[in-house]
Amino acid sequence: MDLIVGTAGHIDHGKTALVKALTGVDADRLPEEKKRGITIDIGFAELDLGAVRIGFVDVPGHERFVKNMLAGASGIDLVALVVAADAGVMPQTREHFEICRLLEIKSGLIVLTKTDLVDEELLELVRLEVAELVENSFLENAPVIAASARTGSGIAELKDILRDLALEIPARKNEIVSFLPIDRAFSVKGFGAVVTGTLVSGEISEAEELDVLPLGRRVRVRGLQTHGKSAKSVRAGQRAAVNLGGIEHADIERGMVLCAKDALRPAQIFDAEIEVLKDAKKGLKSRQRVRVHIGTIEALARVQVLNEANEIAPGEKDFVQLRLETFVVTIPNERFIIRSYSPQMTIAGGRVLDNSVNKHRRKDVENIRKRLKNHVEAEKQNDRAKQLKLFLETSEERGATRKDLQARTGWRDEILKKTIVENVEKKSIVEAESFYISRTPFENLKTKTLSEIENHHRREPLAKGILRETLREKIFAQLAPEIFKITLVHLEKENKIVAEKDYIRLAAHNLELSAEEELLREKLRKIYKNAKLEVPKLEDALNDSVGGTKSDKTHARKIFQLLINSGELVKISEEFYFANSEIESLTVKTREFASNTADRLIDVAKFKEIAGISRKYAIPLLEFFDREKITRRAGDKRLIL
Ligand SMILES: Nc1nc2c(ncn2[C@@H]2O[C@H](COP(=O)(O)OP(=O)(O)O)[C@@H](O)[C@H]2O)c(=O)[nH]1
Ligand SMILES: [Mg+2]
């Protein structure tokens, strides 16, 4: 198995010497580091213990370089807290220890170094001091090894213990897409851009395409190295050097992320849960400007504390929104550290809960706290279905695509698909082609749709229904067409509505007419039936129908519309309407005529003769036939189709 071990501890306590004693590698690689004899930036070394391969990240202990320490500490599985026996617990021993605790590093060991410089009595004192420091923490029961890089005493024992601890560490979760926070970018002659970092999740393979974010550049893996050797692929928990095609090293810097393509999105705001250190001098307040260290980046940010007091007191845990001054790529549950702007001191640490949020308004804080609590709960229970639902809920009626959900969760395709299916089956989310929408907003949409149609029926009791396009504009204008479609599909399946080509009506909407309306309808029917093809003008027909009734013309017009809607009457021109049965028999007659001619041609005179009508009707009827593709103009004649 592979794992990353990070050193931690005060400057000059022998961290780099210890890594060298274990691996033979001097992790101080910069010329300035060699000259000054101190570690400035993170350094790397490997140790092969057979069943266990360890990548060491050696961090600087100097107060001024905590930023670099943090870039290294974010990816480690196990910490070696180094305390020099001749010096004891010092400020950065504490700070580094607190950082590891806040980053929720699960496992570790304590190495008391420089034991060659002290006697048993002094060593015992340091043991006590260290025990006090780590009391009630993840290191409380960690092995304590006395060692000397100078004499080599304790080094063999240290290797054995590292191997044992490594085998106890649970494998990294395999749910998140490939994610490598970049700690270095340089160029190798003949190869081009190379980046290094700890692969915190997923797998990277040769020839694979990846994204460099937040830069937004697509790159190709030309070659890979881990433990100083070429490899076809690297896994989570390994350090990797990745040779990239399609980019210059100068475009890349520490803090960027190399990750699965088209999976994650940079953002400037995220919601988080944080813990303020007990020893912090002051609480963390809203509007405070801080330094957020996440992955390998340091970003300046403003805090919005999501509680009544607008402050988190030392030793307390609470929810915050962080508004960053730069774009970062994060995944849920990713740990980070907060340091004060000036003087720079570690004051808090936490984890990302939601990486894609808008600025919260104060009045919404109560609801947001509820949602974030649910996120914490779901994470604790490892309940992915619930997590997905929580993310989707914030998309409300807009819904989200699978890609949107991947950017929110960071999950690999298989995990995401599986979780979506689970939720769809549970009916907690609804699938709309490439969109997903949470159940509650979907039900709201259905209700809104029904009441819109109902209102329309109330306004236009005799109309067929609401125009599909009108309904879409009223309720779905800002939403994807898929959402509109699926809403209608569901309402139809539930027998709530009837959707025709252009019109939508409530299933319960049938046109019941009063006795008086029935009378009007009968009169109109009779007028057109008796008229055959010599129909009256619309206005005359309407006047005629209301004669002798209490109805007025507007009322007649509505009933008239009803006959059109049902298809009984057909509009030929603005003033002429015909009974559909008359038009149908005329069509038959016209086609019969055609079948008895050689050329299927007819002129106006012949048409008048067949139909037995005057020019007044013949012209609009022929034009209607043209529109209906029963005839087509051919010079001054018409071809019967
Ligand atoms: N006597 C003695 N000196 C040591 C030991 N380990 C480191 N040193 C010395 O302590 C100094 C600081 O060591 P270094 O590894 O650079 O400390 P770091 O700042 O924690 O990385 C160097 O001069 C080392 O030679 C040890 O086990 N015994
Ligand atoms: Mg060092």
Residue 507 has pLDDT above 90, yes or no: no
Q: What is the pLDDT of residues 482-497, one digit of tens each?
A: 999 999 999 999 989 9
C-alpha 367 – ligand 1 centre gap (Å): 53
Whole-number Å distance, alpha carbon 320 to ligand 2 midpoint, is: 35
- Give the pLDDT score at 500: 84
Give, using CA atoms, the residue closest to atom 26 of ligand 1. Answer: 114
Name the closest ligand to CA 59. 2
Query: What's the whole-number mean pLDDT along residues 301-311?
Result: 96
Ligand closest in space to the Cα of 42: 2
Mutate to test the pocket of ligand 1, among 7, 10, 16, 18 (most ligand atoms within 8 A of CB): 16
CA 93 to ligand 2 centroid distance, Å: 13
- pLDDT over threshold 90, residue 433: no
Question: Which residues lie across from 438 on neighbouring strands?
Answer: 429
Q: Report the pocket of ligand 1 as residue ranges, CB < 6 Å.
A: 11-17, 38-39, 61, 113-114, 116-117, 148-150
Asked if 264 contacts 329 with a C-beta cutoff of 8 angstroms, the reply is yes
Phi and psi at residue 538, to the nearest 5°: -50, -50
98-123 pLDDT, tens digit per residue, is 999 999 998 999 999 999 999 999 99
DSSP 187-229: EETTTEEEEEEE--BSEEETT-EEEEETTTEEEEEEEEEETTE
Considering only CA atoms, which of 198, 196, 275 is closest in space to residue 237?
Answer: 198
Q: What angle do CA 179, 181, 187 make, to 5 degrees?
A: 115
166-175, 261-270, 334-343, 622-631 — which is least confidently predicted?
166-175
User: Which helix or strand (DSSP H or E) is residue 163 part of?
Assistant: helix 155-168
Nearest CA to ligand 1 atom 25: 17
For the ranges 69-78, 137-146, 238-247, 611-620, the lowest mean pLDDT is seen at 69-78
Tell whether the model's pLDDT for residue 591 goes beyond 90.
yes
Quick: pLDDT tens for 464-480: 889 999 999 999 999 99
Cα of 84 vs centre of ligand 1, distance in Å, is 8
- Return mean pLDDT, the chain: 93
Ligand lying nearest the CA atom of residue 82: 1
User: Residue 525 burial (CB < 10 Å; 0-12/13-18/19+)?
Assistant: middle
Output the pLDDT for position 173.
77
Give residue 565's pLDDT. 78
User: What average pLDDT does the segment 174-180 reach?
Assistant: 95
* pTM summary value: 0.80
**Which spans in 38-134 are helix H?**
66-73, 91-102, 120-134
Residue 20, pLDDT score? 97
Q: Please give the structure tokens belonging to residue 329.
A: 């790529």
Distances (CA, A) of 144 to 29, 156, 433, 609: 28, 14, 58, 114
Please report the sign of the dihedral spanned by the C-alpha atoms of residue 29, residue 35, residue 41, residue 46: positive
Using CA positions, which residue lies closest to atom 6 of ligand 1?
14
Please determine, for residue 461, whether its predicted confidence score (pLDDT) is greater than 80: no
At 529, give phi and psi (nearest 5°): -70, -45
3-state secondary structure 550-603: CCCHHHHHHHHHHHHHCCCEEECCCCCEEEHHHHHHHHHHHHHHHHCCCCCEEC
Amino acid (1-letter code) at residue 511: L
> Would you state the pLDDT for residue 553?
85
Average pLDDT over residues 389-406: 94
pLDDT at 513 over 90: no
Per-residue confidence at 365, pLDDT binned at 50, 70, 90? very high
Q: What is the pLDDT of residue 552?
A: 85
pLDDT at residue number 592 = 94
Q: Give the confidence band of 547 by pLDDT, cuts at 50, 70, 90.
A: confident
Q: Can you tell me the distance from the alpha carbon of 522 to that of 490, in angstroms, rounded to the nearest whole number?
A: 38
Task: Please report the pLDDT score of residue 434 as a whole number.
Answer: 86
Among all bound ligands, the one having the nearest atom to the CA of 69 is: 2
Longest dimension (CA), the chain: 129
Looking at residues 59-82, what average pLDDT do you find?
91
What pLDDT, on a 0 to 100 scale, did the predictor assign at position 555? 84
* pLDDT at 127 (0 to 100): 97
Find the range with the poorest average confidence among 281-295, 360-374, 556-570, 595-609: 556-570
Q: Tokens 């390994």 correspond to what residue?
A: 238
Q: Which ligand approaches the C-alpha of residue 40 most closely?
A: 2
Q: How far apart are the first and last CA of the chain?
A: 79
Nearest CA owner, ligand 1 atom 8: 14
Residue 355: predicted pLDDT: 93
Average confidence (pLDDT) over 38-53: 91
Q: What is the pLDDT of residue 463?
A: 78
Residue 78 reports pLDDT greater than 80: yes
Q: In whole angstroms, what is the distance from residue 1 CA to residue 102 CA? A: 25
Q: Which residue has the CA at smallest separation from atom 14 of ligand 1?
A: 14
> Rounded distance, CA 597 to CA 447, Å?
59
> In this predicted structure, what is the pLDDT of residue 511?
65
Query: SS3 of 101, please?
Result: helix
- 554 versus 284: which is more confidently predicted? 284
What's the rounded Cα separation, in Å, for the pair 133 and 81? 11
pLDDT of res. 462? 73
Mutate to test the pocket of ligand 1, among 93, 150, 151 (most ligand atoms within 8 A of CB): 150
Q: What's the mean pLDDT in 434-442? A: 93
Residue 39 CA to ligand 1 center (angstroms) comes to: 11
Cα(59) to ligand 2 centroid in Å equals 6
Is the Cβ–Cβ distance between 284 and 274 less than 8 Å?
yes
Average pLDDT over residues 143-162: 96
Nearest CA, atom 3, ligand 1: 114
210-235, pLDDT tens digit by residue?
999 999 999 999 999 998 889 999 99
Average pLDDT over residues 32-46: 90
Average pLDDT, stretch 355-379? 93
Q: What is the mean pLDDT of residues 505-513?
A: 78
Tokens 């969109």 -> residue: 435
